[in-house]
Amino acid sequence: MKPRIAVSVGDLNGVGIEIALKAHKEISALCTPIYCINAYMLNQAAELLDVKIPSDFKIFDIKGNFNIREGCIDKDAGKYSYDSFLSAIKLCEKKESDAVVTLPIHKEAWMLAGIKYKGHTDLLRDYFKKDAIMMLGCEKMFVALYTEHIPLKDVPAHIKKEKLLNFFLDLNKNLPNEKFAVLGLNPHAGDNGVLGDEEREIETAISEANKIIGKELFFGAIVPDIAFTPRFRADYKYFVAMYHDQGLAPLKALYFDESINVSLNLPIIRTSVDHGTAFDIAYRGKASTLSYINAIKSAIKFI
């Protein structure tokens, strides 16, 4: 039997449902997708896209109908994408699906809908009471984010040895025997305290993690502005960034179309596209399916 993948459809005002319909034939050869959407919303999206719904397009009914507004931010779409995601999680918990793959949500739409979470990973972390790790990338390079959706000014306060140590050990449990290049926080990785001393916390945590693991698997603190050069990428496939844009700006510059998002350290398998709702091209037939197909393939590998 092919693996079953619950697909949360994301913000229906964006490109997610176009991607799901466009890629269905290819991914249904790899798995049995279960799309968390109701027939009314699916038909409305298909009419707007002027495409036919495949006869084997299996849906799991999500209550709540609204008028799709292409490229617009609104609370109805935010609430529906949230409900779709929760339903996909529950299908996994009930063993009716083997993994969850998510299409893009819009964070402001979630906020307008009164949802307290800033994104999928925040919700997963709270739902399972586990320290979920956000890792993004592709076969050529992955970046695990130590901090994610927090203001940049708040990042230094999170650079603490014990928290870093737990993060490194959790990474090792999920990806045993993989080597990680760990970036420093400051320019020049602090220049031995001249430009900041957060690297001392990072380096102490690295040393303790390697001692507990029993081998040298974490290396750093690496100077951030050279970490993603060809020289370092020849030696490392996995990186740890201290904050969101430090890791994702170079990743997306190099591998935007093919990258995916993986949630580690959870009792379920969850992967996602590594792009947003792309409201500017919603319902124009221009959305790329590559990240979505890679997310499906990655989920299957984890099963």
pLDDT of 70: 97
Q: Are the CB atoms for 216 and 178 separated by under 8 Å? A: no
pLDDT of 256: 85
CA separation for the pair 48, 201 (Å, rounded): 53
Q: What's the mean per-residue pLDDT of the chain?
A: 96
The pLDDT tens digits for 42-87 are 999 999 999 999 999 999 999 999 999 999 999 999 999 999 999 9
Given a cut of 90, whether residue 22 has pLDDT beyond it is: yes
Domains and CATH numbers, the chain: 1-130+266-303 (3.40.718.10), 131-265 (3.40.718.10)
Helix (H, G, I), strand (E, B) or coil at 75: helix
Laid out side by side, the sheet with 218-222 consists of 59-60, 32-36, 4-8, 99-102, 270-273, 260-264, 133-138, 141-145, 238-241, 180-183, 218-222
The pLDDT tens digits for 239-295 are 999 999 999 999 999 998 889 999 999 999 999 998 999 999 999 999 999 999 999
- Quote the pTM value: 0.88
Given a cut of 90, whether residue 34 has pLDDT beyond it is: yes
pLDDT of 136: 95
